[in-house]
Amino acid sequence: MVKTIASILISLALLIGATVFETVFINTQFAEVRAALEVLEEKVREGSAVPDDTRAVQKLWENKKEKLHAVIPHNDISYIDYWLGEADGCIEAKLYPDALSKIEVLLVICEQIPQTYALTFENIF
């Protein structure tokens, strides 16, 4: 009886620890991407963004998504890839208002995805 209760408590503690780690990990990864997107957004607003700026964000995202594949679905990852590609094309064509709208979508996505995987009452029940 004592071993069973101890096993249940240990399992519960491991599950909670893994969940907290996952939440912190996802938030950290997306916070870094969001910070890079905010810098890019500022450059687009100023009209000084160049394709290399977008490609730097894409490279950062490539590094992050390698780690994130383990914890979030491929659809969420490909959605960000799509919008980054769209923003890159707009910046390359110097269509800054269009690029700005794409970057704003990316900023919202980078805010919403971590909330989807957060340890909240709504996500548990």
Rounded CA separation 65/62 (Å): 5
Distance CA 100, CA 80 (A): 15
Q: Is residue 52 a part of any domain in this protein?
A: yes
27: nearest Cα among 91, 100, 111: 111
Domain of residue 111 covers 27-116
Residue 20 lies in a domain: no
Is residue 3 in a domain? no
Look up tokens 């679905």; give the residue. Answer: 73
* Domain total in the chain: 1
**Tens of pLDDT, residue by residue, the chain (125 residues):** 888 999 999 999 999 898 889 999 999 999 999 999 999 999 999 999 999 999 999 999 999 999 998 889 999 999 999 999 999 999 999 999 999 999 999 999 999 999 888 777 776 66
For residue 70, being part of any structural domain is answered with yes
Q: What is the pTM of this model?
A: 0.85
pLDDT reported for residue 4: 92
Q: What tokens appear for 6 in the block? A: 């101890």
